[in-house]
């Protein structure tokens, strides 16, 4: 299992395949129960985290972290961001790219290289304690920490639900046996418009045969998130609805809807 994420180096915004996160600078308690659309993994899994860092001040290009930077990914309980990590990828455990052509991800169609690769071990005792008998799942939050000479930058929190790896029929636990398969997020740096077709517009992205596609793009100097939904809604780009050019009411009834 692989989680792909994009980190805005300036703002700390962390975008994943499910897109969910709490506002930067807030507290989990202020936002209640985590949303349903979260990243999901099984207890004792070792998912790979594939992280790409980009800088909006450099034409949204991917960047390498400055020399001397330490990189850390942590999973903490949802309701306690000051707690010790349930799992972590420490700086020396990352496979760091030597340049922006290193560490390719061939399953992505845009910006396929320059990823930081790490493995998150979900078999720890602290996590097991949260998934005691009768507990089917536990919410946590995933966060990236960057430390450059004592200047620590932390990303926004992304919800991560860990499912118990044992279905305990005697104590009533109900555990999902399958994992969701959301499409990987695609960052389209060439797109500068919502409509108009071609390679520089959202409606020009091919959508036939694709479902729930999630894309990130910059339009009007604003980072926007759009997801593909099954719908026949008329186009209204100003209010967050765009029909792809290959829309067809019978064979490809899908529209783009803006999430943020």
What secondary structure letter does DSSP report for 156? Answer: P
Name which residue leads in pLDDT, 109 or 71.
71
End-to-end CA distance of the chain: 26
Least confident of 4-13, 58-67, 140-149, 159-168: 159-168
Q: Which residues contact 126 (CB under 8 A, 6 or more apart)?
A: 84, 86
Nearest alpha carbon to residue 142 among 116, 123, 163, 161: 161
Choice between 153 and 68, residue whose per-residue pLDDT is larger: 68
Q: 115-127: buried (b, 16+ CB within 10 Å) or exposed (e) per residue?
A: bbbbbbebebeeb
Mean pLDDT for the stretch of residues 65-89: 86
Taking only the tens place, the pLDDT of each residue in 85-115 is 999 999 999 999 999 888 887 666 555 688 8
What percent of the chain clears pLDDT 90, i.e. is strictly above it?
Answer: 22
Tokens 């926004």 belong to which residue?
A: 156
């Amino acid at each position: 299992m692989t989680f792909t994420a994009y980190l805005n180096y300036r703002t700390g915004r962390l975008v994943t395949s499910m897109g969910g996160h709490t506002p930067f600078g807030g507290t989990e308690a202020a936002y209640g129960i985590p949303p349903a659309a979260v990243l999901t993994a099984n207890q004792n899994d070792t998912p790979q985290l594939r992280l790409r860092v980009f800088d909006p001040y450099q034409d949204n290009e991917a960047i390498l972290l400055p020399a001397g930077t330490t990189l850390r990914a942590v999973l903490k309980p949802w309701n306690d961001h000051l707690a010790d990590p349930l799992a972590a990828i420490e700086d020396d455990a990352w496979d760091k790219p030597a340049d922006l052509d290193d560490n390719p991800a061939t399953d992505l169609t845009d910006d396929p290289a320059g990823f930081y690769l790490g493995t998150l071990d979900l078999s720890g005792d602290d996590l097991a304690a949260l998934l005691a008998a009768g507990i089917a799942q536990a919410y946590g939050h995933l966060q990236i920490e960057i430390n450059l000479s004592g200047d620590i930058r932390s990303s926004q929190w992304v919800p991560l639900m860990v499912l118990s790896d044992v279905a305990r029929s005697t104590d009533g636990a109900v555990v999902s046996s399958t994992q969701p398969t959301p499409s990987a997020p695609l960052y389209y740096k060439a797109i500068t418009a919502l409509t108009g077709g071609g390679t520089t517009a959202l409606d020009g992205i091919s959508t036939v045969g694709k479902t729930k596609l999630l894309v990130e793009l910059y339009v009007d100097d604003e980072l926007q998130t759009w997801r593909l939904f099954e719908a026949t809604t008329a186009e209204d780009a100003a209010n967050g609805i765009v029909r792809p050019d290959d829309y067809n009411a019978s064979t490809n009834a899908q529209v783009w809807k803006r999430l943020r």
